[in-house]
Amino acid sequence: MSLELVLGKPEVNNLKVEIVKSSLVIDEKLQKEINKDWELFLEDMKRKGIKAWNGKKFRFEKVEGNKVFLSETDFKTNLCLRRLNKMQLRNNVVVITNIVTSDNYLVFGRRKNVGVNPNVIAWIAGGVEPIENSKNVLIDTMQIELKEELGLDINDYELGLNLVYKSIEQSAYYVYFDTKTKFTKDEIVERFKTADENEENSELVFYENTKKGIEQLINNKDMLSEVTEYFTNDYES
């Protein structure tokens, strides 16, 4: 099993976030490796005609009660630690949502043929970055992802915090939200088509939110393994 529970079902309004000093220590040798690998990455992106981004990101530090402690890092460090097989140092933070439509379908996206996990079916999700004047960067990031990827405004859904897991394989922390939208499956598709900043997914994939539908989800070989594991072990429809 690759998922380890670190925080179980707190109330979304009680979730607190505090930004602290990073515990990540990068010595001179590792920094040189990161810099070298970053140059290789930039060259590869240039050949593909893709503009590389190196903005700030957050990494997970610890959890105490209903408070999550984060620290700042950047995309370069986070990406290159992954590419250099230094996964244990990353502690990446990702928000993820289980979306249920008004006609009882689960919503997933098939990732575009770029970046991490190309062509794989996964949750609507996003890495956590600093947001100016944010009172809770985890909740705000999830709302931004729903807007950018699906075109959903805040009044289009109810957002509830579910669980926080650590992925052993990815050395990443996944903050799961349950999202109930007032839209049907077909209406979500129409929103998706007109989403202003849909950069992650090429299409939406739906499963009935029933025992049969979840069995089909689990048996789909294109599904991200951590989605399959989550629904196999922890989900109750």
Q: Quote the pLDDT of residue 237.
A: 41
CATH number of the domain within which 135 lies = 3.90.79.10
Q: Are 109 and 224 in contact (CB under 8 A)?
A: no
Task: For residues 11 and 16, give the distance between their C-alpha atoms in angstroms, rounded to a whole number.
Answer: 10
Reported pTM = 0.86
Domain span at 32? 3-233
Residue 147, strand partner residues: none
Q: Which helix (H) or strand (E) holds 219?
A: none
Q: What are the tens digits of pLDDT across the range 1-27?
A: 577 777 766 565 678 899 999 999 999
Closest CA to 73 of 86, 88, 54: 54
Percentage of the chain exceeding pLDDT 70: 93
Q: What are the tens digits of pLDDT across the range 25-48?
A: 999 999 999 999 999 999 998 888
Q: What are the tens digits of pLDDT across the range 72-129?
A: 999 999 999 989 999 889 898 999 999 999 999 999 999 887 666 778 999 999 899 9
Task: For residues 16 and 64, give the distance between their C-alpha atoms in angstroms, rounded to a whole number.
Answer: 10
Q: Quote the pLDDT of residue 2.
A: 78
Task: For residues 148 and 142, give the distance between their C-alpha atoms in angstroms, rounded to a whole number.
Answer: 10
- Domains of the chain: total: 1
